[in-house]
Chains A and B, each alone.
Chain A
Amino acid sequence: MLELQQLYKTYATGDTALRDVSFVVPRGQVMGLIGPSGAGKSTLIRCINRLVDPSAGRILLGDTDLAQVGRSELRRQRRRIGMIFQEYALVERLTVMENVLSGRLGYVPFWRSFTRRFPGRDIENAYRLLDRVGLLEHADKRADALSGGQRQRVGIARALAQEPALLLVDEPTASLDPKTSRQIMRLIIEVCDERDLPAIVNIHDVPLAQQFMHRIVGLRAGEVVFDGTPAALDEAVLGDIYGAEDWTAMRREHEEDQAAEADATRRVAEVAR
């Protein structure tokens, strides 16, 4: 279980990215974080594993306050927090297997990771995860030889290799096409359900969030302006989060996208016939 209490973040430039953010994510819940760009979504999830240091507040994962831990304890805590990135952030020149095993770096001493002698249990688990995300036969390929969707699957396997107690997901589908986006999102939901894993998913695609998330939190200018079920996310709330004009424009864009996609599907079907 993750609990944020009155979290603040002010950057050295004086910009306030987060203001009095508090919420609880119970086990097994996948929470979507929506909001316009610059609302602080990215800062919020980076505060949780301290890639960004919060200015004030508490971040409780189990009994530990992540905002207070020192350097070596921070390393130990980061092992428990898996992170999935927007542009996959795989180490491109390493093999798929090495990328998955890099999820174990916090658990093994330097010499073992340096010589690639990971414990047998870790390797077995890495193969199991690759099989789970459907990439077993790609284990020895270099990460940059894979497609976008496949790379994100490796990213998911890497995060799960940490055997995390929490999953942080930063715009997992931003660089993927709509169909692959839904597959990736479904995979994330499934692995969280299988492991009873809480997750926070930054997502800019509102319809996708409504389709998959258990719960949605809306951020605007660093403040929580909505916290509820996807069903409760109506036009008025979205207008409040994104600003009425921007939301109307976004919705129109989405409808056009969907129309175009439906049109493309229909044409492909016609050609196939």
Chain B
Amino acid sequence: MTQDRYNSSSIYNPFPMRVVAKREEAPGVRTLKLEFVNQEDHEFFTSNYRTGMFGLYGIFGEGESTFCVASPETRKDYIECTFRQSGRVTTTLAGVDPGDIVTFRGPYGNRFPIEKFEGKNLLFIAGGIALPPTRSVIWSCLDQRDKFRDVTIVYGARTVADLVYKHELDEWKRRDDVKLVLTVDPGGETPDWQDHVGFVPSVLEQVAPSPDNTIAVLCGPPIMIKFTLNALGKLGFSEADVYTTLENRMKCGVGKCGRCNVGSVYICKEGPVFTAAEVQAMPQHDL
């Protein structure tokens, strides 16, 4: 399906997207809500997007930058993306306002197989700006809550200010069918901080549910992933039941430009979603 659309037009020609909302998440971190300008682009997205996929977001004249689709597969009338302002493209994207047009190419890559998660307990673990990819899966599951058993979310950031999606954190906290555990790194707490202080792996060890019949979804910076995988291993999680996402510098998103591979695995095509077992099988020094 994806290929058909792109074989009839250039695989490098993006969709125009209208910015309909903009949200300040944390210092330097923004979320844009984008709507489709063209009906056919929207239809294409609707029939292809599944949670976990990514896109290339761009501004003509500046270029494109790769990040996940932060909105869930259960809400396909728009695309949300969350990014940290750091390079040329993200700096420009950070400056757009509602009404402006940006571009989107995608959805690309593989997905979280959430139908396999049905009937199981779910443990979501995210660090810092990696909540957005996790949040896409979280809402994809919460929007069909009755298909899943207990849902636990462990989210940590360097400081309280660095926590993103604060309004949704409040919402999850209020729900009685979600257990939300928040933590900030030591020194990152504010005087009125009520939640945990400590690094994600150690907090996880205190709060994690039993690994029995539980799927873990883990997104974060490489160093956090590494230590959290260790923690999950200690807790008895099988590597096949832990899902994570990898990211690398990308230009094409469609398996041509040759830079995103880890060992023989093209992140843009075979990823970005992998089980921990799959990640362990990759050459670790290529990550």
A and B form one complex: no
